[in-house]
């Protein structure tokens, strides 16, 4: 459905408001005056449908919340990475084998850790 029930309700209220405003301000209530009131109501009704609500664009608050959540997730991941590096350096300095970190990185990492321990 292209138009939501909310959009249709707003269009009806726009018609009623414009019709009522035009009827209240037109003093001689002759057939031409009533036609003008109905015309004002239809213009307001159509104006609502000319710019329907878009549902495919998230609200600015939703975008901000998504960005904040992504930043928090990145901070948690970075904190875990720092913790792993700190544990590896502590393990190397204390003399216990680093295990998979040294095996994966090879001799270069082992030499760097030994140099840092001195």
* pLDDT score recorded for residue 35: 85
Within the chain, residue ranges assigned H as helices are 5-25, 31-50, 60-94, 100-105, 107-117
Cβ neighbourhood burial of 42 (10 Å; 0-12, 13-18, 19+): middle
- 6-51: per-residue pLDDT in tens? 788 888 898 889 888 888 877 667 888 888 888 888 899 888 877 6
Between CA 86 and CA 88 the distance in angstroms is 5
* pLDDT score recorded for residue 108: 67
Average pLDDT on 87-115 reads: 64
What are the domain boundaries of the chain?
5-50, 60-117
* pLDDT score recorded for residue 67: 85
In this structure, are residues 91 and 98 in contact, taking their beta carbons and an 8 Å threshold? Answer: yes
pLDDT tops 60 at residue 72: yes
Neighbours of 15 (CB within 10 A): 20
* Locus of tokens 């300095």: 93
Is residue 106 very low, low, confident or very high in pLDDT (cuts 50, 70, 90)?
A: low
pTM: 0.41
């Amino acid at each position: 459905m292209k138009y939501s029930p909310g959009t249709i309700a707003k269009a009806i209220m726009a018609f009623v408001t414009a019709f009522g405003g035009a009827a209240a301000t037109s003093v001689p209530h002759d057939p031409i005056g009533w036609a003008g009131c109905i015309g004002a109501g239809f213009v307001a009704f159509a104006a609502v449908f000319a710019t329907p609500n878009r549902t495919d664009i998230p609200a600015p608050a939703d975008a901000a919340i998504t960005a904040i959540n992504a930043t928090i997730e990145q901070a948690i991941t970075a904190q875990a990475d720092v913790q792993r590096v700190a544990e590896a350096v502590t393990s190397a300095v204390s003399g216990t084998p680093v295990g998979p970190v040294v095996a994966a990185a090879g001799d270069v990492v082992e030499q760097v850790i030994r140099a840092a321990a001195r």
